[in-house]
């Protein structure tokens, strides 16, 4: 199949807000249809993505080590972290819920760290390896991104329900703040990464060959 | 000018295509990177408006009625979505209450209000006042609206508490379930088709 032309070759530029193809001379300004700022590529994509990703990675440590909630039943209090919450379900025999929480809270952030690092490194080295697959990987990261908010919302609901003072009380703890920040920062990292960088080098190489 | 005929630029690899006429259930993929670049939009403006009004009503239900109630040795307690955000707001973790508030209450509410505003005018074949501003906000709010995550979270919470005490799912949870499906249908990427219609 014939490869389609690139927007850059035709002097076109995509508006990320409304999807319009604008002429590139207006690129540094605004989309003439919706008024959003136009950029041939997302501005400072690689440094911004690195910054958000590293911030998320640093916060990931306290997010997993600090307790996310405190359960006190009849006077005896107990802190639990994300992983102890998973283990509790697992030991109680609820392997299905244990795996949902494990995938959403530990699996998804880990996949995002791995995938975004891979994408950043390959783009920086100008790799032409598996462009199509890397493109798919990025779409997968975009898709699964926000499911990690699951644990934050579970803790919020549980803490708002169990408020019986001495009889039973559940309170959120600092870990949940760090955990939520990890989710927000990884989402921002995925948003600031420009997937067109995956293809840029291969296009440049094609042009040189012609 | 290149703007005479509508072109599609793949947002993942910058390839340029002509728009293709699609029939029901068809979608177009980019030959270069495999992304979906064009989808047949089956909902008309009228249908979308009707679904948005439904979503609005369900939002009221989801926010006013408790998501679930619990009872422990005769004591009872129930929580709405707002209560769960308030629970996050005390102590040093207030920031998380803001994030959770945006993702499960404010973003969906603003999305539905903007959609109803834009669609009421679209019904009369007109662009609403501040049309482009509304459309850009719809675009930027979409990734932060997390009702489906909230639904799964509520179900996990039911199971988490079921071991300790009696849990009864409330009207709010049912509303949340329908609402999260509805939002995927009405507030998805295909809202952009309004740009071409008006």
Chain A residue numbers with beta carbons less than 8 Å from the beta carbon of B165 are: 162, 168
For residue A107, is pLDDT > 70? yes
The distance of Cα B30 from the centroid of its chain, to the nearest Å, equals: 26
Using a CB-CB distance cutoff of 8 angstroms, which residues of chain A are in contact with residue B83?
A: 160
Of these ranges, A28-37, A143-152, B41-50, B59-68, the one predicted with the greatest mean pLDDT is B59-68
d(C-alpha A64, C-alpha B68), whole Å:
28
Dist CA A173 CA A54 (whole Å): 23
CA distance A188 to A206: 32
Closest alpha carbon to A154 in A76, A68, A96, A59:
A68
Local confidence band at A2 (pLDDT 50, 70, 90 cut-offs): low
Could you tell me if B173 lies within 8 Å of chain A, comparing CB atoms? no
pLDDT at residue B4 greater than cutoff 70:
no
More confident call, B141 vs B196? B141
A39 touches B: beta carbon within 8 Å: no
Q: Is the distance from CB of A118 to CB of A197 less than 8 angstroms? A: no
Q: At B171, phi and psi to the nearest 5?
A: -60, -35
pLDDT in tens, B131-162: 999 999 999 999 999 999 999 999 999 988 88
**Least reliable range by pLDDT among A34-43, A78-87, B113-122:** A34-43
Long-range contacts of B76-84, Cβ-Cβ distance < 8 Å, separation of 24 or more: B77/A161, B77/A162, B77/A163, B77/A164, B78/A161, B78/B170, B79/A157, B79/A160, B79/A161, B80/B172, B81/B105, B81/B150, B81/B172, B81/B176, B83/A160, B84/A153, B84/A156, B84/A157, B84/A159, B84/A160
Is residue A163 exposed (0-12), middle (13-18) or buried (19+ Cβ within 10 Å)? middle
The distance of A96 to chain B (nearest Cα, Å) reads: 10
Residue A58 DSSP symbol: H
pLDDT at B154: 93
Instruction: Inform me whether the pLDDT recorded for B2 exceeds 50.
Output: no
Q: pTM of the prediction?
A: 0.89
A14 with B11: Cβ contact below 8 A = yes
Touching B: A residues 108-127, CB under 8 Å: none
Domain range summary for chain A, segments of one domain joined by +: 1-40, 42-209
Q: Which range scores top for mean pLDDT: A153-162, B51-60, B180-189?
A: B51-60
Q: Which two tokens stand for residue A63?
A: 């997010």
- Beta-bridged to residue A14, according to DSSP, are A21
Q: Does residue A1 surpass a pLDDT of 70?
A: no
Query: Mind telling me how many Å the CA of A48 is from chain B's nearest CA?
Result: 18
Please name the member of B9, B35, B100 whose beta carbon is closest to the beta carbon of A139: B35
So where are chain B's domains?
A: 1-40, 43-197
pLDDT confidence of residue A134: 92
Confidence of residue B1 (pLDDT cuts 50, 70, 90): very low
- pLDDT category at A12 given cuts 50, 70, 90 is confident
Please give the CATH architecture assigned to the domain spanning A42-209: Up-down Bundle (1.20)
Residue A126 has pLDDT above 90, yes or no: no
Mutation pick from A40, A154, A157, A178 vs chain B, by most beta carbons of B within 10 Å, is A157
Q: Which of B38, B37, B8 is nearest to B23 (CA)?
A: B38
Handedness of CA B107, B113, B119, B121 (dihedral sign): negative
What three-state secondary structure class fits B169? strand
Higher pLDDT residue, A207 or A98? A98
Which among B16, B153, B192 has CB closest to A12?
Answer: B16
Condensed to tens digits (0 to 9), the pLDDT of residues A109-124 reads 999 999 999 999 999 8
Helix orientation angle between A45-65 and A175-192, rounded to the nearest 10 degrees? 160
**What pLDDT sits at residue B146?**
92
**Can you tell me the mean pLDDT for B87-99?**
88
Q: Where are the beta strands (DSSP E) in chain B?
A: 7-9, 16-18, 27-29, 36-39, 68-72, 75-79, 166-169
The answer to whether B64 and B56 are in contact (CB under 8 A) is: no
CA angle B105/B111/B115 to nearest 5° reads 150
- CA-nearest residue to B83 within chain A is A160
> Is pLDDT above 80 for A95?
yes
In the prediction, which pLDDT does A208 show? Answer: 46
Q: Give me the interface pTM, i.e. the ipTM.
A: 0.89
Gyration radius from chain B CA atoms: 20
Structure tokens at B72: 């422990």
Mean pLDDT in residue range A153-159: 92
């Amino acid at each position: 199949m014939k490869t389609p032309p690139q927007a850059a070759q035709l002097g076109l530029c995509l508006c990320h807000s409304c999807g319009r193809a604008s002429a590139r001379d207006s690129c540094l300004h605004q989309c003439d249809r919706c008024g959003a700022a136009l950029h041939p590529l997302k501005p400072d994509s690689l440094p911004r993505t690195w910054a958000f990703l590293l911030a998320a990675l640093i916060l990931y440590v306290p997010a997993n080590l600090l307790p996310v909630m405190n359960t006190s039943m009849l006077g005896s209090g107990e802190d639990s972290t994300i992983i102890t919450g998973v283990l509790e379900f697992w030991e109680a025999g609820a392997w299905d819920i244990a795996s949902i929480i494990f995938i959403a809270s530990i699996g998804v952030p880990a996949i995002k760290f791995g995938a975004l690092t891979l994408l950043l490194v390959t783009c920086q080295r100008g790799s032409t390896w598996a462009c199509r697959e890397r493109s798919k990987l990025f779409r997968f990261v975009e898709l699964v991104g926000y499911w990690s908010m699951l644990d934050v919302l579970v803790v919020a609901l549980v803490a708002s329900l169990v408020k019986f003072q001495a009889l039973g009380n559940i309170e959120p703890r600092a870990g949940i703040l760090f955990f939520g920040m990890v989710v927000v920062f990884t989402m921002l990292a995925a948003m600031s990464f420009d997937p067109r960088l995956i293809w840029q080098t291969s296009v440049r190489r094609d042009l040189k060959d012609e | 000018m290149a703007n005479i005929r509508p072109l599609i630029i793949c947002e993942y690899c910058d390839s340029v295509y002509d728009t293709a006429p699609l029939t029901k259930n068809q979608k177009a993929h980019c030959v270069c990177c495999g992304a979906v670049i064009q989808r047949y939009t089956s909902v008309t403006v009228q249908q979308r408006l009707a679904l948005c009004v439904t979503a609005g009503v369900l939002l009221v239900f989801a926010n006013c009625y408790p998501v679930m109630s619990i009872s422990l040795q005769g004591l009872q307690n129930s929580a709405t979505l707002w209560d769960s955000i308030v629970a996050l707001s005390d102590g040093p973790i207030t920031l998380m209450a803001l994030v959770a508030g945006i993702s499960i209450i404010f973003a969906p509410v603003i999305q539905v209000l903007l959609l109803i505003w834009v669609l009421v005018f679209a019904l009369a074949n007109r662009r609403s006042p501040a049309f482009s501003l509304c459309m850009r906000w719809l675009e930027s709010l979409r990734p932060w609206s997390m009702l489906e995550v909230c639904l799964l979270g509520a179900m996990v919470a039911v199971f988490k508490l079921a071991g300790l005490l009696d849990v009864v799912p409330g009207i709010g949870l049912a509303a949340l379930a329908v609402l999260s499906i509805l939002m995927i249908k009405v507030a998805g990427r295909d809202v952009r088709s309004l740009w071409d219609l008006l």
